[in-house]
């Protein structure tokens, strides 16, 4: 299973920039001014609402190529994903905490994590090497992020080259490593021929190690001209022999893995000053991992004939004795018997000589995990054939917490369901607990807490250890007016029917199983009828449901179909229009027993249905809007003037009103924004206040409002975010903040028709986010400051608490509580303070902000201006950093000083 390779190609083409490289060996450092901001948000005047954001639970759904345990603190562990950020393990809840949700639209590539490093000398320090693609698909250079509070807040050092968290070879590593003896020293293995890099100031600045002799030469597919398959996978891992240093003195022996089949391991014995190829090493393979067991003095290598993570037909495991220089092949099976490569590799820090490895590319019948307790001299396997095709397993596997991991399959032996996994390149034994092991797959993290049963002859228990880690790429979302609140179209795992947003569904959509669902729709006035289309290795590419997505049956399809495309259901379920890949637009009545070609509309057009008139369908392609009034049989070109002819365009019709259509999309080089039509697309009006928009959806109307609530992912007033309007686009409220941005979120958005304010937002690797508003009655708080706050009543006194709740690379979020400690009620208030470090407020909620230089103010809004004696009023804000982030030391209410609570 693979995570979505990228956002839609057209979007990336629009975003692509050419990034120049600095001269080789030049230092690459990032200061706050060098970290690009999406916008000068302080210039924006918008209402804001406080939203509670959570994941719609799926648990997993994508490739986890790296798991890192801290070597000096128990229960401190991190996981990295290829497109969905990084996570920290929360032992108390046995779940993962996301760490990179602050990554914004312009730097979406930083959601791809190519490597993680946890500092064993100071466990508060953690580092992440980020960047998704090394070619033109990613508009930004890579960066090394550093945190001194375990990922709660980050600072960034941009690099003069790109990193590839979702490139071939991403399961190798770890490319980033902290010197265990002198933790101000870090190394980073770079792709694309950029060599080995080093920082001597705890990741602030980076320089190329010019003495390192080999930048690698292996690429997955040299004939590929896109920059993806033909990229040099470069320097792929770094590990230290901690015995060759002492606290405060740099480690002398450093081992580095290189993507070069003839020269895959190098060593320095003088702290990185000089480097040499280790003599006698295995050739013909790439060393995916290099793990040093200092207790036994062995460096172990897992090798494969390719870089992975999908492929690999041969592999070996070798052991290097660091004291004598002896190399030994300690592979668990003969080379002739391998049809896979080795990658996952770990040693038990509590039990010298115990190590484990994975056959990461054994897709059929299952992955294999190997274990040795004698330094590789002998091995046992997680499963063996008892009598082919029957298997004997050393484990039991319980996926009841994530039941969809069975894939709804019933395979013939020797396959089983669920499988142990595939793409198993991450494998780690807890350095403090020999019984706990975790490993990553293409779909989840599995683990065990009784691993030592393996050696005693009893079976160990494998369960998902993935709660909190959400890694699906979302293509489409639908929230029907009845039935399940949410239906989703996802990459890799197809999609789900969520009857409970906070519970893992029993199964993804099946019958048919689509590898990726590209589009889905329900009949507006008959929401039990649902249709979905997507990609599959063979037909069918379409499925229908008559019970709101609970059960499905396969539909037939016209000849030539190669992919899902888009699909639309008539409002009353009487017919469907489908625009698949590989064939022109098609229409049908019933459930697709036969299809007829639509006329008047080009192949590849996106299609949607009118949500009231069952005969009316809409289409869009290359700047022209199309309408059908005969169930999709014929289309007529309508509006085209001023509409975007390039970039991604998404449009939807408003439920309950015929001909009411909203259209979002475009590109930075052409028309880009939000358009509205009330005459079935004959004319469109562009909303002047929306600079850019990428997706649009509708939800329950606010109290007293006659029009459905609008939700868009957009850029308004220079700010990128998620916005809500309760007055048909006349005014907008930003409902996310800098701590909740999730990279690229342009694929889909929809409100909930049953819950005011609830919105579902697609991400490309962080799953489905849903937000609920604190503005429960649907009335925006407004900005009326009430009575003059400059003159508090006589006898007024106050105390203030100020807390930074979240901090990221170049910004932060803070909560402030003002308490009336006087004897008289406040009737309107304005609180003032001075920032000590150059902070700037970007957005404030539950108060109206003002700022002049370092001086900031917050004034009440209409509904919280009255504060009785002994009562409190709270507000919050997000801000940017251009220096430190010290707390203000003095607050004043109407010129009178407040005490600090």
Query: Catalytic amino acids?
Result: 82, 492
What is the enclosing helix (H) or strand (E) of 845?
strand 840-845
Q: What is the DSSP string of 195-242?
A: -EEEESSTTSEEEE-TT--------S-TT--SSSTTS---EEEEEE-G
Helices vs. strands in the chain: H and E counts, helices first: 2, 71
Through-space distance between the first and last CA atoms of the chain, rounded to whole angstroms: 52
Rounded distance, CA 463 to CA 455, Å? 19
- Say which DSSP state 104 is in: -
Report d(CA 847, CA 469) in Å as an integer: 34
| CA separation for the pair 317, 261 (Å, rounded) | 14
Rounded Cα distance between 768 and 55, Å, is 6
Closest CA to 714 of 678, 689, 685: 689
β-pair type (733-734, 47-48): parallel
Q: Is 882 left (phi over 0), alpha (psi -120 to 50) or beta?
A: alpha
Q: How far is CA 154 from the centre of its chain?
A: 17
Alpha carbon of residue 55 to chain centroid: 12
768 within 8 A of 505, measured Cβ to Cβ: no
From residue 217, give the alpha-carbon distance in Å to each of 175, 220, 232, 343.
16, 10, 6, 19
Binning the chain into helix, strand and coil, the percentages to the nearest 5 are 5, 40, 60
Q: Are 527 and 481 in contact (CB under 8 A)?
A: yes
Tell me if 765 sits within 8 A of 62, measured CB to CB.
Answer: yes
Residue tagged 């408003």 (tokens): 654
Note the maximum CA span of the chain: 90
Instruction: Give the β-pairing of 437-440 and 427-429.
Output: antiparallel
d(CA 269, CA 273): 8
- CA–CA gap between residue 730 and residue 2 (Å, rounded): 42
- Which DSSP letter does residue 405 get? G
Q: 541's torsion region: left (phi>0), alpha (psi -120 to 50) or beta?
A: alpha
Distance, in Å, from the CA atom of 493 to the CA atom of 510, rounded to the nearest integer, reads: 10
Q: Which residues contact 145 (CB under 8 A, 6 or more apart)?
A: 100, 110, 127, 128, 129, 130, 154, 155, 156, 157, 809
Alpha helices (runs of H) in 262-305, residue ranges in sequence order: none
The secondary structure of residue 57, as a DSSP letter, is P
Give, in order, the Cα–Cα distances in Å from 656 to each of 613, 659, 707: 9, 10, 10
Half-sphere exposure of 400 (CA within 13 A, CB side): 3
One-character DSSP codes across 114-139? EEEEE-SSSTT-EEEEE-S-SSTTS-
Q: Bridge partners of 370?
A: 357, 381
Encode burial over 491-510: b for 16+ CB neighbours within 10 A, e otherwise.
Answer: bbbbbbbbeebeebbeebbe
Q: Nearest Cα to 311, choosing from 341, 344, 343?
A: 341
Contact 236, 258 (CB under 8 A): yes
> How far is residue 577's CA from residue 586's CA, in Å, rounded to a whole number?
6
């Amino acid at each position: 299973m693979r995570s979505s390779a990228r956002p839609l190609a057209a979007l990336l083409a629009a975003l692509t920039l050419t990034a120049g490289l600095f001269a080789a060996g030049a230092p690459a450092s990032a200061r706050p001014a060098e970290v690009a901001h999406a916008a000068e948000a302080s210039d924006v005047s918008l209402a804001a609402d406080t939203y509670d954001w959570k994941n719609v639970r799926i648990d997993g759904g994508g490739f986890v190529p790296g798991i890192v345990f801290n070597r000096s603190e128990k229960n401190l562990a991190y996981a990295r994903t290829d497109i969905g950020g990084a996570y920290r393990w929360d032992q108390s809840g046995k779940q993962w905490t996301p760490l990179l949700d602050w990554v914004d639209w312009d730097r979406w590539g930083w959601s791809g994590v190519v490597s993680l490093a946890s500092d064993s000398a100071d466990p508060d320090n953690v580092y992440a090497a980020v960047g998704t693609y090394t070619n033109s698909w990613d508009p930004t250079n890579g960066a090394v992020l550093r945190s001194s509070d375990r990922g709660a807040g980050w600072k960034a050092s941009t690099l003069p080259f790109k990193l590839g968290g979702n490139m071939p070879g991403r399961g190798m590593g770890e490319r980033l490593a902290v010197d265990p003896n002198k933790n101000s020293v870090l190394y980073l293995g770079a792709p694309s021929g950029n060599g080995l890099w080093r920082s001597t100031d705890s990741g602030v600045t980076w320089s190329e190690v010019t003495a390192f002799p080999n930048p690698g030469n292996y690429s997955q597919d040299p004939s590929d001209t896109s920059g993806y398959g033909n990229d040099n996978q470069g320097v792929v891992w770094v590990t230290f022999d901690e015995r060759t240093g002492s606290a405060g003195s740099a480690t002398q022996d450093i081992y580095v893995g290189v993507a070069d089949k003839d020269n895959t391991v190098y060593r320095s014995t003088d702290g990185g000053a000089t480097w040499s190829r280790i003599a006698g090493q295995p050739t013909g393979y790439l060393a995916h991992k290099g793990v040093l067991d200092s207790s036994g003095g062995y460096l172990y290598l897992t090798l494969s004939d390719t870089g992975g993570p999908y492929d690999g037909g041969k592999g070996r495991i070798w052991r290097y004795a660091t004291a004598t220089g002896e190399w030994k092949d300690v592979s668990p099976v003969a080379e002739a018997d391998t049809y896979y490569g080795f990658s996952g590799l770990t040693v038990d820090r509590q039990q010298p000589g115990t190590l484990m490895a994975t056959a990461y590319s054994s897709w059929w019948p299952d992955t294999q995990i190997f274990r040795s307790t004698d330094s590789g001299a002998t091995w046992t396997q997680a499963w063996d054939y008892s009598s082919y095709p029957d298997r004997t397993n050393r484990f039991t596997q319980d996926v009841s917490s994530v039941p969809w991991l069975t894939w709804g399959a019933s395979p013939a032996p020797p396959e089983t369901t669920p499988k142990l996994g595939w793409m198993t390149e991450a494998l780690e034994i807890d350095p403090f607990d020999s019984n706990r092991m975790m490993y990553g797959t293409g779909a989840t993290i599995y683990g065990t807490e009784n691993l030592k049963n393996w050696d005693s002859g009893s079976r160990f228990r494998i369960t998902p250890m993935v709660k909190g880690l959400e890694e699906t790429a979302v293509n489409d979302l639908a929230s029907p007016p009845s039935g399940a609140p949410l239906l989703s179209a996802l990459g890799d795992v197809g999609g789900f029917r969520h009857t409970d947003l906070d519970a893992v569904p029993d199964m993804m959509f099946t019958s048919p199983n689509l590898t990726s669902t590209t589009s889905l729709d329900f009949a507006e006035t008959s929401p039990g009828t649902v249709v979905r289309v997507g990609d599959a290795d063979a037909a069918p590419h379409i499925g229908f449901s008559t019970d709101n997505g609970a059960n499905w049956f396969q539909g037939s399809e016209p000849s030539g179909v190669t992919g899902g495309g888009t699909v639309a259901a008539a409002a009353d379920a009487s017919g469907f229009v489908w625009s698949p890949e590989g064939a022109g637009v098609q229409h049908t009545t019933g459930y697709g027993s036969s299809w007829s070609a639509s006329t008047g509309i080009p192949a590849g057009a996106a299609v949607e249905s009118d949500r009231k008139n069952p005969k009316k369908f809409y289409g869009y392609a290359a700047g022209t809007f199309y309408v059908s009034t005969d169930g999709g049989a014929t289309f007529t070109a309508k509006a085209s003037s001023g509409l975007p002819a390039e970039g991604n365009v998404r449009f939807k019709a408003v439920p309950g009103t015929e001909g009411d259509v909203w259209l979002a999309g475009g590109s930075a080089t052409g028309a880009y924004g939000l358009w509205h039509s009330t005459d079935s697309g004959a004319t469109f009006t562009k909303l002047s206040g929306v600079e850019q928009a990428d997706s649009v959806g509708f939800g329950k109307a606010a109290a007293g409002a006659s029009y459905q609530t609008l939700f868009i992912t957009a850029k308004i007033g220079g700010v990128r975010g998620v916005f809500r309007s309760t007055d048909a686009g006349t005014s907008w409220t930003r409902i996310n903040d800098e701590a909740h941005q999730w990279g690229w979120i342009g694929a889909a958005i929809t409100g909930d028709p049953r819950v005011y304010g609830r919105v579902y937002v697609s991400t490309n690797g962080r799953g489905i986010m849903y937000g609920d508003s604190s503005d429960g009655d649907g009335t925006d708080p407004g900005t009326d400051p009430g009575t003059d706050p400059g003159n508090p009543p006589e006898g007024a006194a106050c105390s203030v608490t100020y807390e930074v709740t979240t901090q990221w690379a170049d910004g932060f979020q803070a909560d402030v509580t003002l308490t009336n400690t006087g004897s008289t009620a406040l009737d309107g208030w304005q609180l003032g303070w001075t920032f000590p470090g150059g902070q700037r407020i970007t957005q404030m909620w539950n108060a109206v902000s003002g700022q002049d230089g370092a001086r900031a103010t917050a004034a009440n809004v209409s509904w919280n201006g009255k504060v009785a004696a002994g009562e409190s009023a709270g507000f919050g804000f997000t801000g940017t950093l251009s220096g430190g982030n010290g707390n203000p030391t003095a607050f004043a209410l109407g010129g009178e000083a407040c005490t600090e609570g």
